[in-house]
Chain A
Amino acid sequence: MLSRTASDLYWLSRYLERAENSARMLEVSHSMAMMPSGRTAEQELAAPLRVTGTVAEFWTEHTRLNFAELYKFLAWHPNHHASIYHCFRRARENAHAVRGRITAEMWETINATWIELNRMRNNPPDLKPFCDWVKERSHLWRGTAYGTLARGDAFHFLRLGTFLERADNSARLLGVKQFDDNDGNHSLRDYYQWTALLQALGALEAHQDAYGGRLDSSTVADMLILRSDAPRSLRACLEEINNILSQIRGPQGRRAKGIAMILLAQLQFGAIEELQKDGLPKFLDEFLLTIDNIGDEIRQSYFEAV
């Protein structure tokens, strides 16, 4: 496969995954903001900005943070890297560049998404229906890709982008909750926050299955970091990344494969108590750095090859 095409496919799915994650994050903030709380709504609403690393960017353009502004910023901003609109635009640009390499149905799915998004833009729907729509389009894209694309390197690079982005986004979301949780008191409010986090990461059902009625910071961290049952957990993402890297043809990518394997082993054989002892924030920071590293290695060995 052409190096340029591999890169375009990889970024195409990274942007789509990012759009979906931004929508998931908006939904959590939305439900959290409706909870009675000791804290100001502003504190609550700042979380998605912290996760996406757009706090500074937000405050250069705004003087106050309320829900409508947050929605506008994360969903419709034309050019910051986590805005859903921007992500879809970049994804569609990448898809356009590789439309000879993806199936006609995949191209139509993403092109139709882009056309519809622009139609909505003049008169944006409410947040909840919009987030539902984003997730639906994301599911549709994934289904179309799984259902129509040949199982070759194009497919592998698409999935590689998805899981690298997902690992990054899941870790960031987890990190935010950690900062909020350092007082150690498990209140009713915490319960709702954990639930919202599980929901955002599509892991609520998996958690119930695994732990029954028990729900605290340990079970949630275990679920989202070390177990592989939830499809957005860190370990699940790393398992996929390792699988995919081993399936890509050719001798390239030796270092990326090595780093990914070590990280996976750390998750496979780690225990939540150990992670908590050293501090989850530290672990998550290191995790994010390693994911960045893998991304760099992938770029160097496949996209800038020859």
Chain B
Amino acid sequence: MSAVLPPPTGVFDEMLLDARTPRPAYGTYHQWLANVAEKELRAKRSEAELLFQRVGITFAVYGEEEGAERLIPFDFVPRIIPSAEWRLLETGLRQRVAALNAFLKDIYSEQAIIKAGIVPADNVMCNAQYQVAMQGIKLFRDIYAHIAGIDLIRHSDGNYYVLEDNLRVPSGVSYMLENRKMMMRLFPDLFADHRIAPVEHYPNLLLKTLRESSPVEDPTVVVLTPGRYNSAYFEHAFLAREMGVTLVEGQDLFIKHEKLFMRTTTGPRQVDVIYRRLDDAFLDPLAFRSDSMLGVPGLLSVYRAGNVILSNAIGTGVADDKSMYPHVPDMVRFYLGEEPILHNVPTWCLRKPEDLAYVDAHLAELVVKEVHGAGGYGMLVGPAATKKEVEHFRGLIRSNPQNYIAQPTLSLSTCPTLVDEGIAPRHIDLRPFVLSGKETRIVPGGLTRVALKKGSLVVNSSQGGGTKDTWVLMDDGVTDSKESAPC
């Protein structure tokens, strides 16, 4: 018998309605869990860890000894999403990403949204992520972010909110796929008892999307990695292998006559599409950071000449920047003429004096984030911080307010998770991946991240977060695997 500990009051738990009753989507699973001994579950977990180690599903942690590899803790209690909920999320995700791509096209061409006074000009033009080099380039299909990861959370009111858009090089999809593989291996019976929407065709959809990003008829696609000491190297190699394309490093590429080639055993071979897992700043030492050893000198000029596609495009960071985030609902209205389906978390922009004053007065209740920060670094979670930390941040925001935004401390929903004290509630978020090509493609679900420390709201793997498998249950409304299957 494995007892599931109830969540603290006022928190939305994904599994439990109250201490005893599961939500409908979890009915079968809850019953299964009640009949399994905790000892058996812990044994399964050790088995999973051994397998992950063996398969080498590891990530490197910055600041640790070079080459140090760690496992991302995996929790086998799945996050289950009922099909009706997923349908709504999926529609909202399509809408949001369409608006973000329209925004990127706009600000790198006519800038209608600035002229209309909806987004302040300095917010775009003075943004470090804004790339002048992109101004006036026409992109095939007008798509800038071919791959987007949208971070969602569920609040105690039961609604989903967008926490953050990731339009540069969103990562984590390999964990989504490996977690599913692991779950099917450890608990085959559960898959017979549930109708779980498949996700395994993601690499195929990704390849399709990348091929569609180029006007070339049969384009040569590569994955560009910073190399094997990068924290996400496993994912780069994984995706290259799953798609059957070449995994390259900057040193494998060179430019001749305004075209990009890779060095192969049969001589130079032209590259048409780069799925780059490298930040803008490192792509081309001639155009961006001159000390970058990871990119290709001259890449930008080839790109500007239209002879290679970068996926995602350069300069997408201006749209997922935290200072731009508050404007996304307006982008949906402006470009699509629709009301946003997915809501933003209320956000104070500290560059506005009235917002700064409010945040200064309520610092200990709020979450403060750096506008350009990522990975859970450089943020303050007011209620969890010491007095000293709060005062330290007060100094930071007062001296450089435009560098920060603040949000109410959200109560992220919880999902039961196997930890030392038993199966206890832990906070989670969700990152679905949205692929934009000839059409928009989303595999059901995404990556669920879980904060393993009791009460913690930080789910990032670099900060001790773990992951879970995400099940979208199918009913008649969710497309069957046959229809959503690739090719």
A interface residues (Cβ-Cβ under 8 A, vs B): 1-6, 96-97, 99-101, 103-104, 107-108, 111-112, 115, 153, 157, 248-252, 302-303, 305-306
Contacts of B239 in A (CB 8 A): 100
Is B249 interfacial (CB-CB < 8 Å)?
yes
Is B240 interfacial (CB-CB < 8 Å)?
yes
CB of B298 to closest CB in A, whole Å: 16
Q: How far apart sit A186 and B254, CA to CA, in the bound complex (Å)?
A: 62
Q: List 9 A-B contacts (CB under 8 A).
A: A2-B262, A99-B234, A108-B54, A111-B54, A249-B266, A250-B266, A252-B266, A305-B267, A306-B254
Is the Cβ of B54 less than 8 Å from the Cβ of A250? no
B interface residues (Cβ-Cβ under 8 A, vs A): 53-56, 223, 228, 234, 236-241, 246-249, 251-252, 254, 261-268
Q: How far apart sit A11 and B462, CA to CA, in the bound complex (Å)?
A: 33
Is the Cβ of B241 less than 8 Å from the Cβ of A306? no
**Nearest A residue to B56 by beta-carbon distance?**
A111
Contacts of B238 in A (CB 8 A): 100
* Neighbour of A104 across the interface among B53, B240, B241, B262, CB < 8 A: B241
CB of A141 to closest CB in B, whole Å: 14
Contacts of A100 in B (CB 8 A): 223, 236-241, 246-247
Contacts of A99 in B (CB 8 A): 56, 234, 237, 241
* Neighbour of A115 across the interface among B54, B236, B265, B266, CB < 8 A: B54
CB of A97 to closest CB in B, whole Å: 6
* Neighbour of A250 across the interface among B55, B234, B267, CB < 8 A: B267
Contacts of A3 in B (CB 8 A): 252, 263-265
Task: Kindly count the residue-residue contacts between A and B in the assembled complex, taking CB atoms under 8 Å apart.
Answer: 80
Contacts of A249 in B (CB 8 A): 265-266
Q: How far apart sit A5 and B266, CA to CA, in the bound complex (Å)?
A: 13
CB of A9 to closest CB in B, whole Å: 10
CB of A306 to closest CB in B, whole Å: 4
Contacts of B240 in A (CB 8 A): 100-101
Is the Cβ of B237 less than 8 Å from the Cβ of A252? no
List 8 A-B pairs, minimum CB-CB distance, nearest first: A250-B266, A100-B247, A100-B240, A100-B237, A306-B263, A99-B237, A302-B265, A3-B263
Is the Cβ of B264 less than 8 Å from the Cβ of A2? yes
Is the Cβ of A250 less than 8 Å from the Cβ of B265? yes
Contacts of A103 in B (CB 8 A): 241
Contacts of B261 in A (CB 8 A): 306
Contacts of A108 in B (CB 8 A): 54-56
Is the Cβ of B241 less than 8 Å from the Cβ of A305? no
Q: How far apart sit A248 and B264, CA to CA, in the bound complex (Å)?
A: 12
CB of A102 to closest CB in B, whole Å: 8
* Neighbour of A97 across the interface among B228, B241, B246, CB < 8 A: B228
**Nearest B residue to A157 by beta-carbon distance?**
B265
Known contacts A3-B252, A97-B228: A305-B264 contact under CB 8 Å: yes
CB of A305 to closest CB in B, whole Å: 6
Q: How far apart sit A50 and B195, CA to CA, in the bound complex (Å)?
A: 64
Known contacts A100-B236, A111-B55, A115-B54: A248-B265 contact under CB 8 Å: yes
CB of B67 to closest CB in A, whole Å: 9
* Neighbour of A4 across the interface among B236, B249, B266, CB < 8 A: B249
Is the Cβ of B265 less than 8 Å from the Cβ of A104? no
CB of B260 to closest CB in A, whole Å: 13
Known contacts A100-B238, A248-B265: A4-B251 contact under CB 8 Å: yes
Is the Cβ of B241 less than 8 Å from the Cβ of A252? no
**Nearest A residue to B241 by beta-carbon distance?**
A100
Q: How far apart sit A179 and B264, CA to CA, in the bound complex (Å)?
A: 44
Is the Cβ of A1 less than 8 Å from the Cβ of B264? yes
Q: How far apart sit A249 and B264, CA to CA, in the bound complex (Å)?
A: 11
Is the Cβ of A305 less than 8 Å from the Cβ of B263? yes
CB of B133 to closest CB in A, whole Å: 28
* Neighbour of B55 across the interface among A104, A248, A305, CB < 8 A: A104
**Nearest B residue to A301 by beta-carbon distance?**
B265
Q: How far apart sit A252 and B263, CA to CA, in the bound complex (Å)?
A: 13
Contacts of A4 in B (CB 8 A): 249, 251-252, 263
Contacts of B56 in A (CB 8 A): 96, 99, 107-108, 111
Is the Cβ of A306 less than 8 Å from the Cβ of B267? yes
Given A2-B265, A4-B249, 7 more A-B residue pairs with CB atoms under 8 Å apart are: A1-B246, A3-B264, A96-B56, A100-B240, A252-B266, A305-B263, A306-B261
Is the Cβ of B54 less than 8 Å from the Cβ of A112? yes
Contacts of A250 in B (CB 8 A): 265-267
**Nearest B residue to A107 by beta-carbon distance?**
B56
Q: How far apart sit A4 and B223, CA to CA, in the bound complex (Å)?
A: 15
* Neighbour of B265 across the interface among A1, A97, A111, A112, CB < 8 A: A1
Contacts of A107 in B (CB 8 A): 55-56
Q: Of residues B56, B241, B261, B265, which shows the largest number of chain A Cβ atoms within 10 Å of its Cβ?
A: B265
CB of B53 to closest CB in A, whole Å: 6
CB of A133 to closest CB in B, whole Å: 16
CB of A294 to closest CB in B, whole Å: 16
**Nearest A residue to B266 by beta-carbon distance?**
A250
Contacts of B53 in A (CB 8 A): 115
Is the Cβ of B247 less than 8 Å from the Cβ of A101? yes
**Nearest B residue to A7 by beta-carbon distance?**
B265
Is the Cβ of A305 less than 8 Å from the Cβ of B265? yes
Q: Of residues B223, B237, B239, B264, which shows the largest number of chain A Cβ atoms within 10 Å of its Cβ?
A: B264
Q: How far apart sit A108 and B268, CA to CA, in the bound complex (Å)?
A: 31
Is the Cβ of B248 less than 8 Å from the Cβ of A252? no
CB of A291 to closest CB in B, whole Å: 20
**Nearest B residue to A304 by beta-carbon distance?**
B263
Is the Cβ of B268 less than 8 Å from the Cβ of A306? yes
**Nearest A residue to B58 by beta-carbon distance?**
A111
**Nearest A residue to B269 by beta-carbon distance?**
A2
Contacts of A97 in B (CB 8 A): 228
**Nearest A residue to B239 by beta-carbon distance?**
A100
**Nearest A residue to B249 by beta-carbon distance?**
A4
Contacts of B268 in A (CB 8 A): 306
Q: How far apart sit A97 and B254, CA to CA, in the bound complex (Å)?
A: 20
Q: Of residues B56, B228, B237, which shows the largest number of chain A Cβ atoms within 10 Å of its Cβ?
A: B56
* Neighbour of B267 across the interface among A6, A111, A112, A252, CB < 8 A: A252
Q: Of residues B223, B251, B252, B263, which shows the largest number of chain A Cβ atoms within 10 Å of its Cβ?
A: B263
Q: How far apart sit A99 and B235, CA to CA, in the bound complex (Å)?
A: 10
CB of B247 to closest CB in A, whole Å: 4
**Nearest B residue to A303 by beta-carbon distance?**
B265
Q: How far apart sit A2 and B264, CA to CA, in the bound complex (Å)?
A: 4
CB of A156 to closest CB in B, whole Å: 9
Q: How far apart sit A256 and B241, CA to CA, in the bound complex (Å)?
A: 30
Contacts of A5 in B (CB 8 A): 246-247
Contacts of B237 in A (CB 8 A): 99-100
CB of A65 to closest CB in B, whole Å: 34
Contacts of B247 in A (CB 8 A): 5, 100-101
Is the Cβ of A101 less than 8 Å from the Cβ of B267? no
Is the Cβ of B265 less than 8 Å from the Cβ of A6? yes
CB of A202 to closest CB in B, whole Å: 29
Q: Of residues A96, A252, A306, which shows the largest number of chain B Cβ atoms within 10 Å of its Cβ?
A: A306
